[in-house]
A and B are shown apart, each in its own frame.
Chain A
Amino acid sequence: MLDIKNLHARIADGREILKGITLSIGPGATHAIMGPNGSGKSTLAGVLAGKPGYEVTQGEVLYNGRDLLAMPADERAREGVFLAFQYPVEIPGVNNMYFLRAALNATRKQRGEPDLDAGQFLKAVRAKLKLLEIGEDLLQRGVNVGFSGGEKKRNEIFQMAMLEPKLAILDETDSGLDIDALQTVAKGINALHSLDRAVLMITHYQRLLDFVVPDQVHVLANGRIVKSGGKELALELEKTGYAGVGDAA
């Protein structure tokens, strides 16, 4: 589903952040990318989702066989790539529900499906709200405006649950969550699991992985994947820290 080959990327000041990443994720798989601060985790998420400000200098990314990097960000989203933001952005004056409906209908249009009418939409919304233990009042507020840290993260997963992406990239979704919220968010991620979807979780800590169990764990250090393994690798990192694997880079 996602094939990253020798991906190099730099930021505006010319510094190279990704220095040759190769990674393949098949349908139905859940991968975790772990690594210390500054290792390039969020850059990878940004490059995959099409965030401005990065320049890919080498390598390629294929998404279901298509050149992902050639697509604008909005097209990637409509084709099923979803990024859960580490820091969700506030859009004052835009009702959260309205925003979600616009997003959902944009995606449906791409798939050749008709717009959801208000009734169908509301029904779908209610089911997902319950799953993520979100109050309906959150929908009537401006997008992320005045949300607590936990509410913002839940709202990201709620959007994901509504948009039903093929490839979900979760950028530090666990940061800033207490244990209850973490479990709820994990429930949302697990509910999305299916054989035709893939999940890429980016995290600093292994605790999310207690609830969303990855098939593979990759350690990112200094812009490269320095070690890959099963879920036990995450536990190992928890004990030894990143210092040990960092040396391998």
Chain B
Amino acid sequence: MSSDTAAISNLGALRDSYKYGFVTDIESDTAPPGLNEDTVRFISAKKGEPQWLLDWRLDAYRRWQKMENPDWAKLRIAPIDYQAATYYSAPKLASGPKSLDEVDPALLQTYEKLGIPLHERAALAGVAVDAVFDSVSVATTFKKTLGDLGIIFCSFGEAVREHPDLVRKYLGSVVPQGDNFFAALNSAVFSDGSFVYVPKGLRCPMELSTYFRINAAKTGQFERTLIICDKDSYVSYLEGCTAPQRDENQLHAAVVELVALEGAQIKYSTVQNWYPGDTDGKGGIYNFVTKRGACRGARAKISWTQVETGSAITWKYPSCILEGDDSVGEFYSVAITNNMQQADTGTKMIHLGKNTRSTIISKGISAGRGQNTYRGLVRIQPKAQNARNYTQCDSLLIGDRCGAHTVPYIETRNPTARVEHEATTSKISDDQMFYCQSRGLSREDSLSLIVNGFCKAVLKELPMEFAVEAQKLLAVSLEGSVG
């Protein structure tokens, strides 16, 4: 009867509860498996890219070949055969439809089923969506509405064609090709993603969002997102992800670069719900992602909010480089690991400018045999006078077979810096569960209530529509974790 001792007695539920596990039957244009320079050329040619971008990719590929899989994270990763994977898969006829009417109905249905209607009349009010299916963007909504304001919101491929100067100027300026193993791989083979540019002084009137869907088997997804906020502009960007249930692991190695110029603000929210694998740890997505933002001017601000519930393995450290004086970086994170899931996630806050401030709130929840690590770096450079950081890391354990780990690194090279770090680890208590149940709430509802309360400081940072989704997702992700 005790939630601690009898936890994990009913784990079958999770597999059934992953409601996004279906496969869309659609004809695809797929590259042969394997990775070499020809693969890179194939992708670049498919996208009709200019020579400079092909050279950029090949440079990345050559760097990647000399690099090793990183092994410093607290993750057990089965060896990945990079030659067995497919690096490009696109639904046929979907390359660059002019309007939503030209999008394959099977794709529209897929997104409908995922709760993301792409018809603008049915779409969520105030949210523009770029839908990425395997390797390509299949549709972008509200493009014209935004375009009239001067806001560019399109697929990465289109940005390369239509706005080459912006892409060339900023691509790789925050995450260089050789930054790390997965970023180098992405730089070589990235296929699509989203591009955003908000002009000076403009506040983007709607939430922009990208919905990533992996469909094809044995295929990796390598998307690249680049968001540029010009002086004194603002954008709120949302990202959601799902994938079918498959027995083999699939690699998702994305790169996201954010550039906030003077006085600009970027709010980037993620609800990551990739297929987590089954209860025995079979299958699931390897989510190895590099996300980084640069505050390039005074008073710029970048906020990362993430709710990580899916993926077999998550390796992800959305970071901020605080170059401008008085710039602000924030990282709010909820990471759940249930069953055999592993997560090693956190952030890096690099303080370069004067009076720069950063806040880190991390909530890790471990259930089943899940392993959850917070790994974070706060670095105050010599010129960062009066830099401030506040870090709070809380871990919640459900049952007695899971693990929570906190690995904070603090490097201070300026004596005026003030860095605070607080960390707690607690178990969901039988008393809390009983208290809720004694008021009539079921075990599942009680757990969901307690966990949502634990995550409140992060969830309140999410845009409204996402917050509701995230709350539901937390409950679903923990289904079966109490007996």
| Complex-state Cα separation, A206 to B439, whole angstroms | 27
Among B430, B437, B452, contact of A74 (Cβ-Cβ < 8 Å): B437
Q: Does A51 contact B (CB under 8 A)?
A: yes
Chain B interface: which of A99-107, A176-184, A196-204, A234-242?
A: A99-107
| Complex-state Cα separation, A204 to B247, whole angstroms | 61
Contact B438 A106 (CB under 8 A): no
Among A51, A78, A93, A143, contact of B434 (Cβ-Cβ < 8 Å): A51
Contact B438 A93 (CB under 8 A): no
Contact B440 A78 (CB under 8 A): yes
Among A73, A89, A93, A163, contact of B455 (Cβ-Cβ < 8 Å): A93
Which residues A52-97 have CB closer than 8 A to chain B?
52-53, 72-74, 76-78, 82-83, 85, 88-94
Among A50, A94, A159, contact of B437 (Cβ-Cβ < 8 Å): A50
Contact A107 B435 (CB under 8 A): no
Return A110 CB to nearest CB of chain B, in Å.
7
| Complex-state Cα separation, A89 to B457, whole angstroms | 20
Known: A88-B435, A94-B452. A102 touches B441 (CB 8 A): yes
Q: Does B205 contact A (CB under 8 A)?
A: no
Q: Does B432 contact A (CB under 8 A)?
A: yes
Among A53, A82, A89, contact of B435 (Cβ-Cβ < 8 Å): A89
Return B64 CB to nearest CB of chain A, in Å.
43
Return B431 CB to nearest CB of chain A, in Å.
5
Known: A51-B434, A52-B2, A52-B434. A91 touches B439 (CB 8 A): no
Chain A interface: which of B88-96, B353-361, B443-451?
A: B443-451
Contact B453 A91 (CB under 8 A): yes
Known: A93-B454, A93-B456, A93-B457. A102 touches B445 (CB 8 A): yes
Chain B residues with CB below 8 A from A102, complex form:
441, 445, 449
Q: Does A49 contact B (CB under 8 A)?
A: yes
Chain A residues with CB below 8 A from B2, complex form:
52-53
Return A239 CB to nearest CB of chain B, in Å.
35
Residue of B whose beta carbon sits closest to that of A105: B440
| Complex-state Cα separation, A202 to B435, whole angstroms | 18
Chain B residues with CB below 8 A from A72, complex form:
437, 443
| Complex-state Cα separation, A221 to B282, whole angstroms | 56
Known: A91-B453, A99-B449. A106 touches B432 (CB 8 A): no
Contact A91 B435 (CB under 8 A): yes
| Complex-state Cα separation, A73 to B430, whole angstroms | 12
Return A115 CB to nearest CB of chain B, in Å.
13
Among A74, A76, A85, A93, contact of B443 (Cβ-Cβ < 8 Å): A74
If over half of A's interface residues share one DSSP class (helix, strand or loop), that class is named, otherwise mixed; here it is: mixed
Among B439, B445, B450, contact of A159 (Cβ-Cβ < 8 Å): B439
Among A52, A76, A142, contact of B1 (Cβ-Cβ < 8 Å): A52
Interface size class of B (residues with CB under 8 A): 20 to 34
Residue of B whose beta carbon sits closest to that of A165: B440
Contact B438 A49 (CB under 8 A): yes
Among B430, B441, B443, contact of A53 (Cβ-Cβ < 8 Å): B430
Contact B440 A103 (CB under 8 A): yes
Contact A110 B440 (CB under 8 A): yes
Chain A residues with CB below 8 A from B449, complex form:
91, 94, 99, 102
Contact B432 A91 (CB under 8 A): yes
Return A142 CB to nearest CB of chain B, in Å.
7
Chain B residues with CB below 8 A from A82, complex form:
438
Residue of A whose beta carbon sits closest to that of B434: A51
Contact B453 A142 (CB under 8 A): yes
Return A107 CB to nearest CB of chain B, in Å.
5
Contact B440 A77 (CB under 8 A): yes
Fill in one digit per residue for B1-21: 1 if any A CB lies within 8 Å of its CB, else 0.
Answer: 111000000000000000000
Contact B453 A92 (CB under 8 A): yes
Chain A residues with CB below 8 A from B438, complex form:
49-51, 73-74, 76-77, 82-83, 85
Interface centre among B435, B437, B440 (most CB of A within 10 A): B440
Return B336 CB to nearest CB of chain A, in Å.
16
Chain A residues with CB below 8 A from B439, complex form:
77, 99, 103, 106, 159, 163
Q: Does B69 contact A (CB under 8 A)?
A: no
Residue of A whose beta carbon sits closest to that of B426: A92
Chain A residues with CB below 8 A from B145, complex form:
none
| Complex-state Cα separation, A142 to B3, whole angstroms | 22
Among A49, A52, A106, contact of B430 (Cβ-Cβ < 8 Å): A52
Interface centre among B3, B436, B442 (most CB of A within 10 A): B436
Residue of B whose beta carbon sits closest to that of A78: B440
Return B79 CB to nearest CB of chain A, in Å.
41
Which residues B411-444 have CB closer than 8 A to chain A?
429-432, 434-443
Fill in one digit per residue for A148-163: 1 if any B CB lies within 8 Å of its CB, else 0.
Answer: 0000000000010001
Return A13 CB to nearest CB of chain B, in Å.
14
Contacts A/B (CB < 8 Å), 8 sampled: A51-B434, A73-B434, A73-B438, A77-B437, A89-B434, A89-B435, A106-B442, A143-B453
4 pairs of A and B residues whose beta carbons are closest in the complex: A93-B453, A94-B453, A93-B456, A103-B439
